[in-house]
Amino acid sequence: QSQELSQVQVDYHAALQALVEDGTRMVCTGRMHTDRICRFESLCYSTEAEEFVYFHSNSSVMLPNLGSRRFQPALLDLSSVEDHNTQYFNFVELPAAALKFMPKPVFVPDVALIANRFNPDNLMHVFHDDLLPIYYTMQQFSDLDVEARLFFMEGWSEGVHFDLYKLLSNKQPLLREQLKSLGRLLCFTKSYVGLSKITTWYQYGFVQPQGPKANILVSGNEIRQFTKFMMQKLNISLEESSSEEYIVVFSRTMNRLILNEAELILALAQEFQMKTITVSLEEHSFSDIVRLISNASMLVSMHGAQLVMSLFLPRGATVVELFPYAINPEHYTPYKTLATLPGMDLQYIAWQNTDREDTVTYPDRPWDQGGIAHLDKGEQERIIKSTEVPRHLCCRNPEWLVRANQGTKVNIPSLIHVIRQTVKSKPGPKKQKWSGSLYPGKVRDAKCQASVQGTSEAKLAVSWQIPWNLKYLKVREVKYEVWIQEQGENTYMPYILSHQNHTFSENIKPFTIYLVWIRCIFNKNLLGPFADVLLCST
Ligand code: UDP
Distance CA 473, CA 46 (A): 57
For 12, phi then psi, to 5°, come to -60, -45
Best residue among 126, 306, 308, 395 to mutate for probing ligand 1, ranked by most atoms within 8 Å of CB: 306
Res. 1 pLDDT band, cuts 50 70 90: very low
Q: How far apart are CA 119 and CA 135, in angstroms?
A: 17
306 Cα nearest atom in ligand 1: 11
**HSE on the CB side for 422, CA within 13 Å?**
18
In ligand 1, which atom is closest to the CA atom of 123?
15
Q: Check residue 131 and report its DSSP letter.
A: I
Are the CB atoms for 266 and 258 separated by under 8 Å? no
| Distance (Å, whole) CA 45 – CA 67 | 21
Whether the Cβ atoms of residue 351 and residue 322 lie closer than 8 Å to each other: yes
Going by alpha carbons, the residue nearest to atom 13 of ligand 1 is 122
Pocket test for ligand 1, best of 204, 249, 254 (most atoms within 8 A of CB): 254
ipTM above 0.85, yes or no: yes
What percentage of the chain exceeds 90 in pLDDT? 93
Q: What is the pLDDT of residues 83-114, one digit of tens each?
A: 999 999 999 999 999 999 999 999 999 999 99
Distant-in-sequence contacts of 317-320, Cβ < 8 A, 24+ apart: 317/346, 317/347, 317/427, 317/428, 317/429, 318/346, 318/347, 318/348, 318/349, 318/419, 318/422, 318/423, 318/427, 318/428, 319/346, 319/347, 319/348, 319/349, 320/349, 320/350, 320/351, 320/415, 320/419
Three-state SS for 79?
coil
The pLDDT value given to residue 431: 55
Helix extents (H) in 388-444: 398-404, 412-422
Cα torsion 33, 36, 42, 45: sign:
positive
Q: Separation of 253 CA from ligand 1 center, angstroms?
A: 9
Alpha carbon of 386 to ligand 1 centroid (Å): 24
What whole-number percentage of the chain has pLDDT above 70? 96
Cα distance between residue 352 and residue 322, in whole Å:
6
Adjacent-strand bridge partners of 46: 51, 185
In this structure, the residue with its CA closest to atom 1 of ligand 1 is 252
| Coil/strand/helix, residue 527 | strand
**In the predicted model, what is the mean pLDDT of residues 300-324?**
98
Q: Which amino acid is at 1?
A: Q
Residue 494's beta-bridge partner residues?
A: 483
* pLDDT, position 453: 87
CA of 159 to the centre of ligand 1 (A): 13
Going from the Cα of 399 to the center of ligand 1, the distance in angstroms, rounded, reads: 18
Q: Place 11 in a pLDDT band, splitting at 50, 70 and 90.
A: confident
Tell the residue nearest (CA) to atom 7 of ligand 1. Answer: 281
Predicted local confidence at residue 430, as pLDDT? 61
**pLDDT recorded at residue 364:** 96
Under 8 Å CB-to-CB from 232, ≥6 apart: which residues? none
460 CA → ligand 1 middle, Å = 65
* C-alpha–C-alpha distance, residues 442 and 531, integer Å: 5
| Ligand 1 midpoint to CA 85 (Å) | 24
Ligand 1: which of 123, 261, 327 to mutate, judged by most atoms within 8 Å of the beta carbon?
123
User: Given this model, what pLDDT does residue 3 score?
Assistant: 52
List residues bridging with 277 in a β-sheet. 248
pLDDT at 424: 87
Q: Within 6 Å (CB) of ligand 1, which residues are found?
A: 122-124, 252-255, 281-282, 304-306
Residue having the nearest C-alpha atom to atom 20 of ligand 1: 122
At 429-488, the pLDDT tens digits run 765 555 568 999 999 999 999 999 888 899 999 999 999 999 999 999 999 999 999 999
pLDDT tens digits, one per residue of 358-381 = 999 999 999 999 999 999 999 999
The pTM is what? Answer: 0.94
CA of 292 to the centre of ligand 1 (A): 19
Ligand 1 nearest atom to the CA of residue 404, by list position: 24
Q: For residues 249 and 419, give the distance between their C-alpha atoms in angstroms, rounded to a whole number.
A: 14
Residues 7-30 have a mean pLDDT of 88
**How many whole angstroms from 452 Cα to the centroid of ligand 1?**
73
- Specify the residue with its C-alpha closest to ligand 1, atom 2: 252
Dihedral sign, CA of 526, 333, 285, 409? Answer: negative
Rounded to a whole number of angstroms, the CA Rg of the chain reads: 29
3-state secondary structure of 331: helix
Q: How far is the CA of 390 from the centre of ligand 1 (A)?
A: 22
Is the previous residue joined to 212 through a cis bond, with omega within 30 degrees of 0?
no
**How confident is the model over 144-163, as a mean pLDDT?**
98
264 CA to centre of ligand 1 in angstroms: 21
- Atom 12 in ligand 1: which residue has the minimum CA distance? 122
Q: Which numbered atom of ligand 1 lies nearest the CA of 282?
A: 7
Centre of ligand 1 from the C-alpha of residue 531, in Å: 51
Q: Three-state secondary structure along 244-267?
A: CCEEEEECCCCCCCECCHHHHHHH
- The mean pLDDT value of the chain amounts to 95
Residue 37's DSSP bridge partners are 29
Please give the single-letter amino acid code of residue 529.
P
Average confidence (pLDDT) over 484-497: 97
What CA–CA distance (Å, rounded) separates 117 from 78? Answer: 8
* Atom 24 (ligand 1) nearest CA: 304
Q: Is the pLDDT of residue 306 over 60?
A: yes
CA 305–ligand 1 middle distance (angstroms): 6
